[in-house]
Amino acid sequence: MAGPESALRRALKLAGLSAGVAARYASYLAQHSFLREDERERKLKATHAKAGQRVTQELAALKGPAMKLGQALSLHTDLFPDEILQELSALQMSAPGMHPSLVRTQFKISMGRPVEEIFRSFDDQPFAAASLGQVHRAVTRDGKKVAVKIQYPGVREAVPSDFKLLRTFARTTGLKRKVPDAVLDEVEQHILAETDYRREAENIDFFRARLQPLDYVTVPQAYHEYSSDRVLTMSMVGGVHLQTYLSDRPPQVERDKLGAHLLELFYYQLLQIGAFHADPHWGNYLFGPNGAVGLVDFGCIKRWSPKFVEHLHLTFLYPGDPKSAEFRRLMVEGHSMHGAKLSPAALRMFSDLTDNFYRRVYPSELEKENEFFDFGEEAFLKEYMRHATQLFRAKGTLPEHVFLARAEIGLYQTLHRLQSRVQTSKIVRKFLRRRS
């Protein structure tokens, strides 16, 4: 039970949020008939930005589950204007925190022993905010520098009541049409799983073992002996967030290398491991020199269905015509493996996507294998977004496709911000097992 107080406050917050944001848009609409065209555009942007800030502040104040939902929504790029998205993505990195007394209490209750009995030193000021907790630096008794993630109190207890509210909220505001119940259910399950840090420690072990072959990737080491369901102690991962990385103006060659690594990491995880450490959004990576990539946040890993991955091995870099009967047959088969029936509209959408997007970004001809794709160009991202929007709306596709599209959006946005040039097909082909 989250307690009547917190439930009430959250309810008020959510109500306040919808009213506040709606009022901004209403005030814009009231004025807009008097504005000239260019000014209207500017005004609209300002309205979006204000509303976006408000959404972030409100969600950040709610912390925990609602903030996580904000992040999940921020990946639904089609739902929101850019300005709101920017604000939402700020959530990935910041949240109001716990004061030192609460941190230490939470630690002691979760670990059974006070901080100072376990660590030689412990920094009371957090150095990073995770979505459901905050991260502190510490040094173990034997001198290892570690990061200790500590969960906000009552997060797990609040998840069910928060989601009950969100469902009500979604129903009354018409958000439901855009965020269907199935998505909310799934986000709820993921968040609930994410509140158990022991699971996250196991996820870290899994990826640490499986990503060994990629030497530029750093996966932290989880220290199980200093961890519990609400405390997670791991080794420090070097590197900086994308924003900081870019502010140092890394040369093109560095950005290309990093881009290649990110793309390789993406397809290695998808095609070889069958699991993602997190959404491949830049908030979940740390970047270093020489294309080094540090992975953070293993709370919400995505395991792909093996059949889905198997099917990708068949269709990715499809050498023939995506409008051909064979391609159609492959797509229909891929869906029937999962007991789903592919609608003609969805089939057309996949053909279009392959034709207009994949064949351009990932040329399938062997002679084009060494070509670089420039992710800095604007058009490719727009093109992908257009198709992804159709895919989100299409009936009869697999949920896995929606996830993949979301993941790809994260990847492409990151590569676009890096303005990387990458030998896309060459990298992907390394991991495809299939016929000639």
Partner 1 sequence: MAKTRTSTDRRQRSAGKGRREKNRAAIRARIVSAALGLFREKGFDATTTKAIARRARVAEGTVFNYFETKEDIALHFFDLEVDHAIAAVRKNTKLRRAPLEEKLFALVQTQLEFLEPHRRFIGAAFLHALRPTSKLGFSSQAIALRNRYLAFIEELIHESLPRRAGGLFAWFAPPVFWIYYLGILLYWLNDDSQGMQSTLALLDRSLKLGVMLLRKGEL
Residues engaged in binding partner 1 (CB under 8 A): 1-3, 5-6, 9, 98-102, 105-106, 109-110, 124, 152-158, 230
> Is 417 in contact with 282 (CB distance < 8 Å)?
yes
What radius of gyration do the chain's Cα atoms show?
Answer: 23
Would you state the structure tokens that stand for residue 196, as one six-digit string?
Answer: 């158990």
Q: Give the nearer residue to partner 1 in terms of CB position, either 99 or 433.
A: 99
5 vs 378, which CB is nearer to partner 1? Answer: 5
Exposed, middle or buried, 52 (CB in 10 Å: 0-12/13-18/19+)? buried
Smaller CB separation from partner 1, 156 or 406: 156
Q: How far is the CB of 114 from partner 1 (least distance, A)?
A: 11
162 annotated active-site: no
Q: Distance between CA 282 and CA 244 in Å, rounded?
A: 12
244-283 as b/e: b if 16+ CB within 10 A: ebbeeebeeebbbbbbbbbbbbbbbbbbbbbbbbbbbbbb
Alpha helix segments (H runs only) across 288-431 = 306-315, 325-336, 344-353, 359-361, 378-393, 399-418, 424-431
Q: At what angle do helices 155-173 and 64-75 cross, to 10 degrees?
A: 50
Please give the single-letter amino acid code of residue 433.
R
Q: Closest separation between CB of residue 329 and partner 1, Å?
A: 53
CB-nearer residue toward partner 1: 120 or 341? 120
Nearer to partner 1, 152 or 392 (CB): 152
DSSP state of 240: B
Q: What are phi and psi of 137, to 5 degrees?
A: -85, 145
State the minimum distance, in angstroms, from the CB of residue 157 to partner 1: 5
Nearer to partner 1, 103 or 402 (CB): 103
Q: Tell me the β-bridge partners of 240.
A: 287
Distance between CA atoms of 119 and 399, rounded to whole angstroms? 44
Sign of CA dihedral 34, 36, 37, 42: negative
Q: What is the DSSP string of 371-403?
A: PPEETT-HHHHHHHHHHHHHHHH-TT--HHHHH
Q: Which of 123, 279, 321, 374 is the catalytic position?
A: 279
With both helix axes pointing from N to C terminus, report the angle between 37-62 and 4-32 in degrees, rounded to the nearest 10.
180
Nearest Cα to 45, choosing from 96, 87, 4? 87
Q: Smaller CB distance to partner 1: residue 152 or 304?
A: 152
Alpha-carbon dihedral sign for residues 341, 357, 70, 276: positive
Tell the smallest beta-carbon distance from residue 99 to partner 1 (Å). 4
Single-letter code of the amino acid located at 413: Q
Q: 131 or 424, CB closer to partner 1?
A: 131
For the annotated catalytic residues, the residue numbers are: 279
